[in-house]
Chains A and B, each alone.
Chain A
Amino acid sequence: MKTISPGKGKKAKADSTQEIWNLRLYVAGQTPKSITAFANLKKICEEYLAGKYRIEVIDLLKNPQLAKGDQIIAIPTLVRKLPEPLKKIIGDLANTERVLVGLDIRSVSG
């Protein structure tokens, strides 16, 4: 898969903010859990980080060696590379509330 998908709603708004949210989603093939996770992530980003996020999807079936670098054991795992510090959320991101807490988005938007 390895879909690098910059946010579609990225407009001039994104340029005005200093921070670009760099998110990485680790999956292993097109499993239902992976697809759900990607969909959930997309939705949350659009809602809370519109225009200032990048999602990188890494398929470990294709690049297994990448799992070591980010200490991935669970699939799917979402890694917040930027802004610092590094954050990880495992699971299909079904609970939006917990994703927001996990990514520390509340404070930014609020």
Chain B
Amino acid sequence: MVKAKHKVDVLEKCPTGIRGLDEITKGGLPRGRPTLICGSAGSGKTLFAMEFLMRGAMDYREPGVFMTFEETPEDLAKNFISLGFDLHDMMSRGLIATDHVYIERSEIEETGEYDLEGLFIRLGNAIDSIGAKRVVLDTIEALFSELPNATILRAELRRLFHWLKDRGVTAIVTGESGDKTLTRYGLEEYVADCVILLDFRIVEQISTRRLRIVKYRGSSHGSDEYPFLIDDRGFSILPITSLGLDYPVSTERISTGIPKLDTMLDGKGFYRGSTILISGTAGTGKTSLSATFADAACLRGERCLYFAFEESPRQIIRNMRSIGIDLARWVKKGLLKFHSARPTLYGLEMHLVTFHKVIEEFKPLVFIVDPISNLIAAGTASEVKSVLTRLIDYLKMTKISTFLTDLTHFGGSLERSSEEISSLIDTWLLLRDIELKGERNRGLYILKSRGMAHSNQIQEFLLTNKGIDLIDIYTGSGEVLTGSARAAQEAEEKASELVRRREVVRRLREQERKRKALEAKIAALRAEFDAESEELHLVAEEERKRQVVLAEDRLELAHLRKRETFSSPAKRLKKKGERRVR
């Protein structure tokens, strides 16, 4: 253990310059030691070795020797050109030296003892001629079929690798994969420091290239299988280093391009650097929504990368013009870049390598994939999840806002098809069809949106010639109505409202009338009452007067009675009659 630790401290690495490889190997290949690159035919061994030399010569000022055992120098030069390097030019500048080693089996006879000193001399001569620091032997195994004595060959190969170490050159030795061994002739026995396996697999007619570091003595390294891409700029290896969850987050908000949708999202739109998923069945307006978002980004002067998997860029531009979005001007300005490819062109991981590559080249702030569902279909659920996690981690690390659309199937649950990636999504919008009364309308709602208060309402989603509009959906009398049904319902409601209002007015008027009648009645009764009480009062007065008179009469009578003793009653009666007259 102690010894190994000591080695780690000492081990110097030689950067390859191959995109992604230096990250995986944490610095490059072991300097001054041979590395074995193995893989089946066509797995890219030669290109790998070639790029190692070229990058070394161009980027690190380390000249290199390419010793080829299979390809002729002409073929080699052609291969180099396919990576954009001019081999002849580099040779004339003393950056690269090549040597083509071949043996014609038919013209060679073997008798007695020999060694491969000639090869050593040639290699040494080539190294000395340009002061090479890097060496490629491609594929030294060819000697096994050319030289009959395997025992000598093996002894000499062992010596060769020691010799390379003594020379202090960083070497790449390629070898073809065997049935059960890494290489057909067991080269891995000799090259013990670093072994890299290139794999070329075809699963369901889709090919995927993968790279794995089988062994790297004295150094830690990524042990996964890393997908890689070979194109006109050489290798791109997707580092599957999990970036983890400690990425920076932004509190900046960016508009969705639809004011109403911004309102639904707390009034401010998405968070910058968040991941947005739009799910919906066919024809629900996913692409229109993506284009609106792209348009909004470009309006802010941000670069936007649009990966289209269903339509060609021109078709998208034409179609979006019909809803009043002019994307062509952004393309012309260089703010918007389309990248179109059939999803079946290659496997999921290869697409992701492409994503990485194009993102690194274009450096967008907004990244759109339309739709991602076709990619999901290209892999198993676990593959998709691990691969997308890495992509989204990467996008978040670089603060790129990601907008993914997802085509869901009719009939199925809208949420289900994307469940494997739902945990990665920050804001999830759902577009759905609402079928009612013989027509189909679009509805939009927010399934989730992390870190913001958001509307729970379904909005009707309208595509107009001035872009996307959202309308509050009719939700009266316990049902949801859209489109013409909503309009009809609204009209109907307006009519019945009018009727109701008139009814109220009518009843109010009646009430008023009743009130008036009542008041009149009350007045009449009061008048009657007054009249009655006045009469009563008169009667009472009469009575009182009568009583007074009666009392006077009685008194007079009493007087008379007393006088009666002196006069006749007739006289008294007469007197009484007199007074009455008075």
Complex Cα spacing A88 to B116, Å: 15
Contact (Cβ within 8 A) B125 A75: no
Q: Is A17 an interface residue (CB 8 A)?
A: no
Is B118's CB under 8 angstroms from A94's CB?
no
In the complex the two chains form, is B111's CB within 8 Å of A73's CB?
Answer: no
A-contact 0/1 string along B89-132, CB 8 Å cutoff: 00000000001011100011111111111110110110000000
Q: Name the residue among A64, A76, A93 with the largest chain B CB count within 10 angstroms.
A: A64
Task: Bits for A91-102, please: 1 = Cβ < 8 Å to B, else 0.
Answer: 111110011011
| Chain B residues within an 8 Å CB radius of A1 | none
Q: Are B110 and A89 in contact (CB under 8 A)?
A: yes
Taking a contact as CB atoms closer than 8 A, the residue among B108, B117, B143 that contacts A28 in the complex is B117
- Please determine whether B112 and A60 come into contact, CB atoms closer than 8 angstroms: no
| The one of B112, B119, B122, B125 that contacts A95, using a Cβ cutoff of 8 Å | B112
**A73 to B100, alpha carbons, bound, how many Å?**
11
Contact B111 A64 (CB under 8 A): no
Residue B147, interface by CB 8 Å = yes
Is the beta-carbon distance between A65 and B125 smaller than 8 angstroms? yes
Q: Which of chain A's residues have a CB closer than 8 A to the CB of B117? A: 28, 60, 74-75
Bound CA–CA A95/B143 (angstroms): 23
**B99-A98 in contact (CB<8A):** no
A71-B102 contact given A60-B121, A90-B114, CB 8 Å threshold: yes
Min CB gap B559→A, angstroms: 187
- What is the CB-to-nearest-CB distance from A85 to chain B, in angstroms, rounded to a whole number? 7
B101 / chain A contacts, CB cutoff of 8 Å: 71, 73
| Nearest A-chain residue to B143, judged by Cβ | A73
Q: Which of A64, A88, A95 contacts B108 (CB 8 A)?
A: A88
Q: Which residues of A are found within 8 Å of B125, using beta-carbon distances?
A: 64-65, 67-68
Inter-subunit contact A91/B121 (CB<8 Å): no
Let me know if A42 is at the binding interface, CB within 8 A: no
- Whether a CB of chain B sits under 8 angstroms from the CB of A4 is no
Contact at A86–B107, with CB atoms within 8 Å?
Answer: yes
Residues in A whose Cβ lies below 8 Å from that of B107: 85-88
Contact between B116 and A87 (Cβ–Cβ < 8 Å)?
Answer: no
Nearest residue, chain B, Cβ from A104 = B109
Distance to closest chain B CB from A90 (angstroms): 5
Q: A67-B125, A71-B103, A73-B101 are in contact. Are A89 and B118 (CB under 8 A)?
A: no
Q: Are B111 and A89 in contact (CB under 8 A)?
A: yes
Contact partner of A88 among B109, B112, B124, CB < 8 A? B109
* CB of A33 within 8 Å of the partner chain: yes
Residue of A nearest to B102 (CB): A71
Beta-carbon contact of B122 and A102 below 8 Å: no
Q: How far is the CA of A88 from the CA of B114 in the complex (A)?
A: 13
Do the beta carbons of A89 and B108 come within 8 Å of each other?
A: yes
Q: Is the Cβ of B114 less than 8 Å from the Cβ of A64?
A: no
On whether the beta carbons of A72 and B108 are closer than 8 Å, the reply is: no
Task: Determine the chain A residues whose CB is within 8 A of the CB of B147 once the complex forms.
Answer: 74, 90
Of chain B, the residue at the smallest CB distance from A86 is: B107
Question: When A68-B99, A86-B107 are in contact, do A28 and B121 touch as well, CB less than 8 Å?
Answer: yes
Instruction: Report which of B109, B112, B113, B122 forms a contact with A72, defined as CB distance below 8 A.
Output: B122
Query: Which of B103, B108, B113 contacts A94, CB < 8 Å?
Result: B113
- A20: interface (CB < 8 Å): no
> Of A40, A75, A93, which one neighbours B118 at CB under 8 angstroms?
A75
**Interchain CB contact under 8 A, A93 and B112:** yes
CB distance from A75 to the nearest CB of B (A): 4
Q: Do A93 and B111 touch (CB < 8 A)?
A: yes
Check B99–A73 contact: CB distance below 8 A: no
The residues of B that contact A86 with a CB separation of less than 8 Å are 107
From A74, A75, A95, A102, name the one whose CB has the most chain B CB atoms within 10 angstroms: A74
* Separation of A98 and B119 alpha carbons in the complex (Å): 24
Q: Distance (Å) between the CB of A88 and the closest chain B CB?
A: 5
* A residues near B103, Cβ cutoff 8 Å: 71, 73, 88
Report Cα–Cα, A36/B111, bound state, in Å.
12
Q: Tell me, in angstroms, the Cα distance from A71 to B119 when the chains sit together.
A: 9
A26 at the interface (CB under 8 A from B): yes
User: Chain B contacts of A40 at CB under 8 A?
Assistant: 112
Chain A positions near chain B (C-beta within 8 angstroms): 26, 28, 33, 36-37, 40, 60-61, 64-65, 67-68, 71-77, 85-95, 98-99, 101-102
Interchain Cβ contacts under 8 Å between A and B, 28 examples: A28-B118, A33-B113, A33-B115, A37-B112, A61-B121, A64-B124, A65-B125, A71-B101, A73-B119, A73-B122, A74-B114, A74-B119, A75-B115, A75-B117, A77-B114, A77-B118, A87-B107, A87-B108, A89-B108, A90-B109, A90-B110, A91-B110, A91-B111, A91-B113, A94-B113, A98-B110, A99-B109, A102-B109
- Additional A-B contact list (13), CB under 8 Å, known A71-B102, A87-B108: A60-B118, A64-B124, A64-B125, A71-B103, A74-B115, A74-B118, A77-B118, A90-B110, A91-B110, A93-B111, A94-B111, A94-B113, A95-B111
